[in-house]
Amino acid sequence: MTPLIEVRDLRVAFRIGAERFEAVHGISFDIPANTTVALVGESGSGKSVTAMSIVRLLPENAEVGVDSRVLYNGTDLLKVSPEQMRQLRGKDISVVFQEPMSSLNPVFTVGEQIAEVLRIHAGMTARQARQRALELLEEVGIPEPRARLDAYPHELSGGQQQRVMIAIAIACEPKLLIADEPTTALDVTVQRQVVDLLARLQERHKMSVLFISHDLGLVGEIARNVIVMRNGDVREAGTVADIFSAPKDAYTKALLACRPPLDARPRRLPVIEDIMGNKPVSGEQRRSVPAGGPALIEVAGLRKEYRLKDGLFRHKTIDAVKLADFTLRKGRTLGVVGESGSGKTTLGMMLTRLTDATGGTIMFEGTDLATLGAASMRPYRRRIQIIFQNPYASLNPRFTVGQILMEPMRIHGIGADDDARARLALGWLEKVGLPAAAFGKYPHEFSGGQRQRIAIARCLTMQPEIIVCDESVSALDVSVQATVLNLLLDLQEEFGLTYVFISHDLAVVKYMADDILVMNKGEIVERGSAEEVYANPRHPYTQQLLAAIPRGWQGAPPAALMEAGEVAP
């Protein structure tokens, strides 16, 4: 098949002060015409740097190798003038970025932003561009497109914002669409819609798509060819069938193996180091704590209402959580699933009293936590901790790791003095797999997975009985995610912890949870054991969520891994 883009010996380095760091090490690959190619790898693998090199959107401190070439119809894009590149960008080659809210201009309407591209690259009049913008919104499946044409980005949901970005990208019918992690922050159902939309548009417009992702589940459903990158090198390339049925590189096998399976609950998830080091992974299955254990928390009729302005003198009430009832039992994990806006995070925030309930009871050892004042609640805060979604935002950047761990101990009177607290903090760092040297470092010196370990260690300093995990692994690569999930399970087994595990990733919840609540528009629409809910979902909403789970990664049969000795029979 004729290549649309030929990348040859691409080298990209970055200068930071006096130091020079090479992010991409002389890689070569083709993007055929009318084909979807996936670029797969963890954070830091060089996949986004590679994609941004094609469209010349690298930062000013980037240096591209003198022998590097990116050929488009015989023209080296690395050698054309900035003016020529601006003409190609948006017209022949377009980009859909990961975070639509950062990419869309908040002071212009959706219609104005689509029309701008059409006026610049297609020479349309304002009226023609507006009409074409309306057609594009219809094509990407925006509901009520005529009304949305004059809406601002903040008035749209995350999925709708990403659809607008796709509309802008395909406005001039480009030959190549680069989709850089376009579904990472989206719910499983919205993710499914965006992936299906990209597949339809690729077929309809006969364009090529470079789909960048760390999720092999998605890749298996949208791509024809796959390029696996790690640390700036191409580790493996081939068709989807080859990569999934007979992966050759150990790193590819590791990426396929570390995603939680839907058909089993292994005691431990294999991680990159296990597979790369040829370490056999046990086939032992995990056993849940018996369901009849003592109740730690009993929730009844829990409600949360928000009163919002609706016009100059009017207000409206939104029910974020409606009459929630459930029991949290010692040593077990309660999974809470649902899309954004379903109320699952609000539920977790009310359990920790970071948000006050409008009504209902939260009974903990005979005390209704919902009625306690700040002073009375303090002893319970020590016993009920929370791990937030974003490890980059939840740690104080001005504190060292030692200060981050010691501050809550000082507030709650744990440890006789700072020396004792420092010894405790070092012990917890060791528990979560971080070296003692981390004690004096700052959060920005750590990776996302390491920061989440620090956040877990901070929770453990309080010696809690209950930990609310609010999307605590959704921002992590699948390999790092597996490491953190293993850590959470080890800690649960050692300390008898009880978890409330909130997530929109149903594969992860299936692996972690003993019991599941399914929430939709503030209501619990289904509940039961994890096995029961997944095997026999009764509510249409649950069925819809389960149908949207990416299953492409399951194309790699265990036999392919067992033959190589990475997974024990």
pLDDT band at 273 (very low <50, low <70, confident <90, very high): confident
* Per-residue confidence (pLDDT) for residue 354, from 0 to 100: 92
Average pLDDT, the chain: 88
Q: pLDDT digit string (tens) for 307-320?
A: 877 777 787 888 88
Q: Hey, what's the torsion of the CAs at 267, 273, 279, 282, to 10 degrees?
A: 10
Over residues 14-41, the mean pLDDT reads 92
Answer whether residue 67 shows pLDDT above 50.
yes
Q: Which H or E element spans position 37?
A: strand 36-40
**pLDDT higher for 275 or 33?**
33
* Per-residue confidence (pLDDT) for residue 553, from 0 to 100: 42
* Residue indicated by tokens 């409606």: 322
Give dist(CA 56, CA 49) in Å, integer.
10
Answer whether residue 114 shows pLDDT above 80.
yes
Answer whether residue 283 shows pLDDT above 90.
no
Residues in the chain: 569
**Residue 53 contacts residue 64 (beta carbons within 8 Å):** yes
Over residues 229-252, the mean pLDDT reads 91
What token pair was written down for 362? 């939260």
* Per-residue confidence (pLDDT) for residue 350, from 0 to 100: 95
Answer whether residue 43 shows pLDDT above 70.
yes
**pLDDT higher for 565 or 326?**
326
Answer whether residue 398 shows pLDDT above 90.
yes
| Backbone angles phi and psi of 453, in degrees to 5 | -65, -40
**Residue 236 contacts residue 244 (beta carbons within 8 Å):** no
* Per-residue confidence (pLDDT) for residue 552, from 0 to 100: 62
Answer whether residue 393 shows pLDDT above 90.
no
Domain ranges of the chain: 247-289+557-569, 332-342+378-550
pLDDT band at 563 (very low <50, low <70, confident <90, very high): very low
Secondary-structure percent of the chain, ordered helix, strand, coil, rounded to 5: 40, 25, 35
| Backbone angles phi and psi of 384, in degrees to 5 | -125, 105
Q: Hey, what's the torsion of the CAs at 70, 74, 78, 83, to 10 degrees?
A: -140
Q: Hey, what's the torsion of the CAs at 416, 418, 419, 424, to 10 degrees?
A: 80
**Residue 36 contacts residue 202 (beta carbons within 8 Å):** yes
* Per-residue confidence (pLDDT) for residue 57, from 0 to 100: 93
Residue 535, classified by CB atoms within 10 Å of its CB into exposed (0-12), middle (13-18) or buried (19+), is: exposed
* Per-residue confidence (pLDDT) for residue 562, from 0 to 100: 36
HEC string of 163-206 equals HHHHHHHHCCCCCEEEEECCCCCCCHHHHHHHHHHHHHHHHHHC
**pLDDT higher for 271 or 310?**
271
Distances (CA, A) of 272 to 181, 275, 407, 445, 450: 21, 5, 34, 22, 15
CB atoms within 10 A of CB 22: 14
Among 116, 100, 119, residue whose Cα is nearest residue 108: 116
Sign of the C-alpha dihedral computed for residues 473, 478, 480 and 483 taken in this order: positive
**Residue 365 contacts residue 447 (beta carbons within 8 Å):** no
**pLDDT higher for 131 or 317?**
131
Answer whether residue 554 shows pLDDT above 60.
no
β 359-364/367-368 pair status: antiparallel
* Per-residue confidence (pLDDT) for residue 8, from 0 to 100: 96
Answer whether residue 154 shows pLDDT above 50.
yes
Give dist(CA 216, CA 207) in Å, integer.
22
Answer whether residue 423 shows pLDDT above 60.
yes
pLDDT band at 509 (very low <50, low <70, confident <90, very high): very high
* Per-residue confidence (pLDDT) for residue 566, from 0 to 100: 41
Residue type, 108: F
Residues of the chain with pLDDT > 70, as a percent, come to 96
* Per-residue confidence (pLDDT) for residue 1, from 0 to 100: 63
| Backbone angles phi and psi of 354, in degrees to 5 | -80, -15
* Per-residue confidence (pLDDT) for residue 185, from 0 to 100: 63
Answer whether residue 24 shows pLDDT above 80.
yes
Give this prediction's pTM: 0.82
CB burial readout 250-280, b (16+ within 10 A) else e = bbbbbbbbbbbebeebbeebbbbebbeeeee
Over residues 460-478, the mean pLDDT reads 87
Over residues 333-353, the mean pLDDT reads 91
Please compute, for residue 401, the number of CA atoms within 13 A of its CA located in the half-sphere on the CB side.
29
Give dist(CA 561, CA 569) in Å, integer.
10
Instruction: Return the CATH fold of 332-342+378-550.
Output: Rossmann fold (3.40.50)
**Maximal C-alpha separation, the chain:** 75
Answer whether residue 514 shows pLDDT above 60.
yes
Give dist(CA 462, CA 383) in Å, integer.
7
